[in-house]
């Protein structure tokens, strides 16, 4: 009851904000009936900042829709959806996990690739260990951590290391990219492999070192509506917004490459 | 004594309450693929996680006994200013979200932590991402269970035995080891078992402070959580192993908890 009234108040507030802002975006919409409802978007941890911004823009354009996010490592999200979590949209950091959900019969319609990303080595500001290449990660005295092999970033990191011919045993297999970044920030680990966008999002708290294109892996991000969504129209509108020029420009500002 | 009949509403709610706890346990048993049980249990990564869990939880219990029994004795016998506050602080991990405990441990014993920075620069010791870090995380969360249980035992024992030993000329150390500790043996046992069970199940503080790597810091609960994403059937079986151990703990402590029922 009270939750519902809070949601209503929020929706009203957003509507007011949207109209106060001139309503340029909403008046441009020509859809016959305004979209309503609340959609849950399950998105890979590396999308945390960019999708929050996308959600904000989307809600300004569709004042009747509330977008709620669940960010986690991609395999965690797949497990949650398999176990019956109420998700309307799923944004994966790789095609493998998307294929898994598709095989489970839990996707509705085909998925669309909406962004690409690349890997970087993440270190503390100033690069105190003087790391310059993937091979340096295997040096003794360097604490290297990565994501588990089922997490897309962890899988890509393994590919990059294999291409570069580097054998290194990580000290920890974290559950998503964000926890790797935070352990570098805290100074517990010296280096990790994450996405370019994660380094950018962390600002001055960490430093990124480029991985040569020959060794680097291009990550592909597909998005899909989850089967059984009660808000199919709103989910489709959100996906359309993500792949639209406006959505792509927001993703671009967070360092993602265009699909 | 005449058997009492429960009012209908109470009976219905009580049944719902019991079912709420029991149904998930039944779910675990029903969904476990028994055919694969042995293969999952004897898989090298399972044995590794199980071995590490036993090693770490037993070490944590030993550490908790060495540090916790003296602490319980001080709480029970010595009156000093600030005892109530200190006692409350050292009990805090029992109710603190374990992940918060993990963050606190990082800020104290991490490479840039209050003590960790000094440990690293002076002795070259770093605790995160090590089995020692797992033992610390487990001890932090589990020791209060031992301290409170042993303290209660010390407070409720009949101190006239200690008085008698004293009048017969026994020294303080002799009284402690020959009279006090044997008298509170049941509390010591119960406290140690509770502490061990809590340490064995530790997840949040461990993954936050010690990280996750097979054979070094990946204990059973971490393996169960991560297997759910790759091999759910194996995670069901490992869950069942942990459930079985918990059940054994409960049976072991039945005189304490279930005896009066």
Q: Got the DSSP string for B113-149?
A: STTHHHHHHHH----TTSHHHHHHHHHHHHHHHHHHH
| Alpha carbon distance, N-terminus to C-terminus of chain A | 42
Residue A27 pLDDT = 41
The pLDDT tens digits of the residues spanning B53-84 come to: 999 999 999 999 999 999 999 999 999 999 99
Residue A25 pLDDT = 42
Residue A17 pLDDT = 45
Q: State whether A174 and B230 contact (CB < 8 Å).
A: no
Helix (H) or strand (E) holding A189: none
Tokens of B205: 């503080």
The nearest alpha carbon in chain A to B124 belongs to A141
State how far the Cα of A94 lies from the Cα of A74, in Å rounded to an integer: 8
Residues in chain B closer than 8 A to A172 (CB atoms): 129, 210-213, 217
Helix, strand or coil, per DSSP, at residue B63: helix
Q: State whether A174 and B217 contact (CB < 8 Å).
A: no
Q: Identify the contact set of chain B against chain A, taking CB-CB distances under 8 A.
A: 106, 110-112, 126, 128-129, 207, 210-214, 216-218, 226, 228-230, 232
Statement: residue B99 has pLDDT above 50: yes
Residue B252 pLDDT = 83
CA A177 centroid distance within chain = 10
Q: State whether A148 and B226 contact (CB < 8 Å).
A: yes
Look at chain A and count its residues.
Answer: 259
The nearest alpha carbon in chain B to A150 belongs to B230
Whole-number average pLDDT of chain B: 91
Tokens of B39: 């293969």
Residue A5 pLDDT = 54
Nearest C-alpha neighbor of A39 from the set A102, A86, A107, A101: A86
Instruction: Please name the residue ranges forming H helices in B4-130.
Output: 8-31, 37-41, 44-77, 83-91, 98-109, 116-123
Kindly indicate the confidence band of residue B250, based on its pLDDT and cuts at 50, 70 and 90.
confident
The pLDDT tens digits of the residues spanning B215-238 come to: 999 999 999 988 887 788 888 888
- Share above pLDDT 90 across residues of chain B, in percent, rounded to a whole number: 74
Q: How far is A105 from chain B (nearest CA, A)?
A: 17
Q: Which residue positions in chain A have pLDDT lower than 50?
A: 1, 7, 10, 12-29, 31
Residues 6+ apart with CB under 8 A from A138: A144, A166, A167, A168
Q: State whether A75 and B213 contact (CB < 8 Å).
A: no
Mutation target vs A (from B27, B211, B226; most A CBs, 10 A cutoff): B211
A48-A52-A58-A63 Cα dihedral, nearest 10 degrees:
140
Longest dimension (CA), chain B: 72
- Whether the CB-CB separation of B85 and B251 falls below 8 Å is answered with no
The nearest alpha carbon in chain A to B109 belongs to A188
Count Cβ atoms within 10 A of the Cβ of residue B58 and give its class: 0-12 exposed, 13-18 middle, 19 or more buried. middle
Q: How many CB atoms lie within 10 A of CB B171?
A: 10
The pLDDT tens digits of the residues spanning B158-191 come to: 999 999 999 999 999 999 999 999 999 999 999 9
Mutation target vs A (from B27, B52, B128, B221; most A CBs, 10 A cutoff): B128
Statement: residue B116 has pLDDT above 70: yes
Statement: residue B87 has pLDDT above 70: yes
Residues in chain A closer than 8 A to B230 (CB atoms): 75, 150
State how far the Cα of A249 lies from the Cα of A117, in Å rounded to an integer: 14
Tokens of B188: 């010591």
Helix, strand or coil, per DSSP, at residue B110: coil
Kindly indicate the confidence band of residue B256, based on its pLDDT and cuts at 50, 70 and 90.
low
Residue A4 pLDDT = 53
pTM of the model: 0.80
The pLDDT tens digits of the residues spanning B19-49 come to: 999 999 999 989 888 888 888 888 888 899 9
Q: State whether B211 and A187 contact (CB < 8 Å).
A: no
Q: State whether A172 and B212 contact (CB < 8 Å).
A: yes
Number of helices followed by number of strands (H, E) in chain A: 10, 11
Q: State whether B228 and A150 contact (CB < 8 Å).
A: no
Report the alpha-carbon angle B90-B212-A77, nearest 5: 105
Q: How far is A176 from chain B (nearest CA, A)?
A: 12
Residues in chain B closer than 8 A to A174 (CB atoms): 211-212
Count Cβ atoms within 10 A of the Cβ of residue B42 and give its class: 0-12 exposed, 13-18 middle, 19 or more buried. exposed
Longest dimension (CA), chain A: 64
Mutation target vs A (from B130, B212, B233; most A CBs, 10 A cutoff): B212
Q: Is the dihedral of CA A175, A178, A183, A186 positive or negative?
A: negative
Size of interface A-B (CB pairs under 8 A): 53
Three-state SS sequence of B180-216 = HHHHCHHHHHHHHHHHHHHHHCCCHHHHHHCCCCCCC
DSSP state letter for B228 = H
Nearest C-alpha neighbor of B219 from the set B197, B240, B202, B241: B202
Helix (H) or strand (E) holding A87: none
Statement: residue B100 has pLDDT above 50: yes
Instruction: Please name the residue ranges forming H helices in A21-124.
Output: 24-28, 48-61, 74-82, 95-103
The nearest alpha carbon in chain B to A141 belongs to B124
Residue B257 pLDDT = 59
A2 compared with B114, residue with greater pLDDT? B114
């Amino acid at each position: 009851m009270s939750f519902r009234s809070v949601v209503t108040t929020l929706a009203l507030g957003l509507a007011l904000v949207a109209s106060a802002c001139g309503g340029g975006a909403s008046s441009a919409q020509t859809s016959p009936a305004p979209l309503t409802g609340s959609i849950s978007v399950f998105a890979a941890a590396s999308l945390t900042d960019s999708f929050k911004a996308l959600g904000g823009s989307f809600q300004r354009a569709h004042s009747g829709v509330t977008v709620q996010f669940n960010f986690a490592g991609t395999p965690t999200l797949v497990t949650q959806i398999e176990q019956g979590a109420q998700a309307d949209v799923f944004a994966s950091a790789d095609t493998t996990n998307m294929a898994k959900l598709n095989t489970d019969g839990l996707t509705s319609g085909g998925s669309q690739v909406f962004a690409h990303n690349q890997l970087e080595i993440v270190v503390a500001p100033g690069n105190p260990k003087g790391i310059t290449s993937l091979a340096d990660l295997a040096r003794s005295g360097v604490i290297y951590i990565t994501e588990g092999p089922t997490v897309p970033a962890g899988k890509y990191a393994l590919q990059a290391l294999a291409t570069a011919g580097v054998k290194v045993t990580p000290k920890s297999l974290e559950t998503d990219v964000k926890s790797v970044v935070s352990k570098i920030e805290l100074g517990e680990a010296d280096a990790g492999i994450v996405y370019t966008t994660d380094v950018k999002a962390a600002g001055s708290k960490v430093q990124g070192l480029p991985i040569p294109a020959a060794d680097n892996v291009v990550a592909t991000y597909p998005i899909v509506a989850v089967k059984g969504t009660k808000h199919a129209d709103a989910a489709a509108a959100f996906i359309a917004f993500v792949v639209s020029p406006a959505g792509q420009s927001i993703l671009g500002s967070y360092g993602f490459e265009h699909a | 004594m005449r058997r009492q009949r429960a009012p209908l509403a109470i009976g219905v709610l009580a049944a719902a309450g019991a079912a709420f706890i029991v149904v998930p346990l039944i779910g675990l048993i029903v969904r476990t693929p028994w055919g694969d049980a042995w293969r999952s249990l004897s898989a090298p990564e399972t044995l590794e996680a199980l071995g590490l869990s036993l090693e770490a939880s037993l070490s944590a219990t030993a550490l908790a006994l060495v540090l916790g029994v003296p602490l319980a004795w001080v709480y029970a016998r010595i009156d000093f200013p600030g005892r109530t506050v200190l006692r409350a602080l050292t009990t805090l991990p029992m109710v603190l979200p374990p992940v918060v405990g993990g963050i606190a441990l990082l800020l104290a014993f991490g490479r840039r932590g209050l003590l960790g920075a000094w440990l690293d620069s002076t002795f070259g010791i770093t605790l995160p991402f090590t089995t020692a870090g797992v033992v610390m995380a487990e001890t932090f969360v589990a020791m209060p269970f031992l301290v409170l249980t042993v303290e209660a035992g010390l407070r409720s024992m009949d101190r006239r035995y200690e008085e008698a030993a004293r009048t017969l000329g026994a020294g303080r150390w002799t009284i402690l080891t020959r009279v006090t500790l044997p008298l509170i043996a049941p509390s010591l046992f119960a406290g140690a078992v509770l502490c061990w069970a809590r340490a064995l199940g530790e997840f949040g503080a461990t993954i936050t402070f010690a990280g996750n790597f097979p054979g070094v810091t990946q204990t059973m609960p971490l393996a169960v959580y991560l297997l759910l994403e790759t091999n759910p059937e194996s995670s069901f079986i490992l869950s069942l192993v942990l459930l079985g151990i918990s059940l054994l703990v409960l049976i072991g402590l039945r005189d304490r908890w279930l005896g009066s029922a």
